[in-house]
Amino acid sequence: MIGVVDYNMGNLGSVLNAFAKVGARAELVRDPDRLRDYDRIQLPGVGAFPDAMEHLRSTGMDAAIREFAASGRPLMGTCLGMQLLFERSEEFGVTQGLGLIPGKVVPFDTERFSSPLKVPHMGWNELFVKRRDPIFDGLPEAFYLYFVHSYHAECDDAFVIGTTLYGYEFPSAVRRDNVYGFQPHPEKSHDNGLRIVENFTKL
């Protein structure tokens, strides 16, 4: 059974539908004490980093997520959920994250863009596989996924398994042991996204 963390910050219906489409059982979980009952968990999210961390801390879900990650069972964060995996974010000031992956979340640096681009980065873009991983089984070396974000991760290359170009190259897929993160929305990315969702259920 897959637990989808409900912290009032996600497009939860789409996430549950994606798991159902690949034949997986998933349900929302709001009680941090129940996280340990699941085989794997997904941390989705749409919204602001500080609000998300405040909700996770106020409910005790932050500690429960860290405990789950320490158990070695698969955990995947998507979009804001990926960003929360890092040590801190610069969105609306500096906010401490879950600290499961070393690194930080920063705004797009538009001064690095060689041509004018809109922020947020919104729409279909390619993810380039930097390191083969079971999460990419059945997918080519580059494929399209759907993105909506104004901030992105900065971390050591050792944790980067996929990158995307938008003005410059940034990490769009990361992994540290059993913890995965995707900046795009697999649940909104048709066949390619569903393949990632299905692969996550098989890790």
Greatest Cα pair distance in the chain: 49
Phi and psi for 30 in degrees, rounded to 5?
Answer: -110, -20
Domains belonging to the chain, first-starting first, are 2-202 (3.40.50.880)
Catalytic residues: 79, 185, 187
Mean pLDDT of the region 132-137: 98
DSSP-based three-state secondary structure for 69: helix
Predicted TM-score (pTM) of this structure: 0.97
pLDDT grade for 42, boundaries at 50, 70 and 90: very high
Query: What pLDDT shows up at residue 161?
Result: 98
Burial class (CB in 10 A: 0-12, 13-18, 19+), 88: middle
Query: What pLDDT shows up at residue 176?
Result: 98
User: What are the tens digits of pLDDT across the range 88-123?
Assistant: 999 999 999 999 999 999 999 999 999 999 999 999
- Yes or no: say if 28 and 37 are a contact pair by the CB < 8 Å rule: no
Tokens encoding 121: 């980065």
DSSP-based three-state secondary structure for 203: coil
Q: To 5 degrees, how large is the angle CA 91–CA 95–CA 99?
A: 115
Strands 75-78 and 40-43 come out as parallel
User: What are the tens digits of pLDDT across the range 142-156?
Assistant: 999 999 999 999 999
